[in-house]
Amino acid sequence: MNNENPTVVLVHGAFVDGSGWQPIHDILTNDGLDVAITQHSTRSLTEDVTEIHQVIEAQDGLVLLVGHSYGGVVITEAGTHPQVAGLVYVAAFAPDAGESVASMLAEPDPNAPAPPIVPRKDGSLVLDRDRFQDAFAADLPAGQARFMADSQTPWGGAALSTAVTEAAWRSKPSWYVVATEDRMIPPSAQEGMAARAGASVETVAASHSVYVARPDAVADLIRRAAKAIEL
C-alpha cells in the first residue's frame, strides 16, 4: 500500500465492464498509485452501491472514487462512505439528492442526439449494436467499438429509476472530465453538472469513451485529484 496517496477505485458505467479501464489502470499503477477496478452488475443502484462499498472497505485507508457515465450515479451515492476522500466524474452523471438517471433524462436536450438505447425481452437495456460506435465510441477503431458493442452488459431498470439519497459531492471535493464530442450525455449537461458540484473541470475533445480514447488526459486529472487529497 502506498501510504502517501489514496487508492483509486475505478467504477464503470452502463453497457460496459471494468476491463475498459485497463489503459488508465496501467498509467496510474506505473506512476505508483494503488488502483482497484469494480465489476458491479449495473442492474440496481442499491446493489451497485453495496458492491462498491465492499471494494472500498477492502482497501487500507482513504479512496478516490472515479466514475464513468452511470458510474457517476454510483459514486455519488457510494461516496458518502467515510473512507472516500474525493470523487472524479468522467463524462458522467452527477445527480443531486432525489435525482435518478430517469429524472435527469426526462427533459432531453432537443439539439443533442438521442442515445440508441433499446430494450431486451427481459426489460433490461442495451445499445443498438449497429449504432453503438457512433453513439458511444466514435473516436475508437471500428474493431474495438464492435467488440464493445458485442460484449455489452445490460442496464437494469432499477439502476435508472432509483434516486440518490445523498449526494457525496456536496460534502467532498470533486473533479470532472467533460467530453466535448459526447453523443450519450450532452457536453452542455456535463458542464452544468460539474458547475453545480463545484468540480474542477478538465475539458477533453473525445467521445463518451473518453476513458478509452484519451486515457492520458483522464489519468492526468485523476493524478491531480489524488495529489490534492493525499494522506
Q: Please state the rounded mean pLDDT for residues 117-123.
A: 93
Q: Retrieve residue 83's grid coordinates.
A: 473512507
Is the pLDDT at 231 greater than 60, yes or no? no
Q: Retrieve residue 43's grid coordinates.
A: 442492474
Helices (H), the chain: 22-30, 45-57, 71-78, 101-104, 132-136, 142-150, 157-161, 187-197, 210-213, 215-228
Residue pLDDT, tens place only, 187-202:
999 999 999 999 999 9
Spatial neighbors of 210 by CB under 8 A, at least 6 apart, are 90, 91, 177, 179, 182, 204, 217, 218
Residue pLDDT, tens place only, 20-45:
999 999 999 999 999 999 999 999 99
pLDDT, residue 93, reads 98
> Pick the residue with more confidence: 85 or 5?
85
Is the pLDDT at 210 greater than 80, yes or no? yes
Determine whether 43 is exposed, middle or buried from the number of CB atoms within 10 Å of its CB (0-12, 13-18, 19+): middle
Q: Retrieve residue 214's grid coordinates.
A: 484519451
Beta strands in 105-156 (DSSP E): 117-119, 125-127
pLDDT band at 130 (very low <50, low <70, confident <90, very high): very high
Residue pLDDT, tens place only, 66-89:
999 999 999 999 999 999 999 999
Q: By mean pLDDT, which of 4-13, 167-176, 209-218 is the weakest?
A: 4-13
pLDDT, residue 79, reads 98
pLDDT, residue 54, reads 98
pLDDT, residue 154, reads 95
pLDDT, the chain, mean: 95
Is the pLDDT at 212 greater than 60, yes or no? yes
Can you give the pTM of this predicted structure? 0.96
Distance CA 214, CA 139 (A): 10
pLDDT, residue 2, reads 44
pLDDT, residue 1, reads 40
Q: Please state the rounded mean pLDDT for residues 96-113.
A: 89
pLDDT, residue 107, reads 80
pLDDT, residue 118, reads 95
Cell 467504477 found at? 11
Is the pLDDT at 3 greater than 70, yes or no? no
- What is the pairing mode between strands 117-119 and 125-127? antiparallel
Distance CA 126, CA 160 (A): 13
Distance CA 25, CA 140 (A): 18
Is the pLDDT at 112 greater than 90, yes or no? no
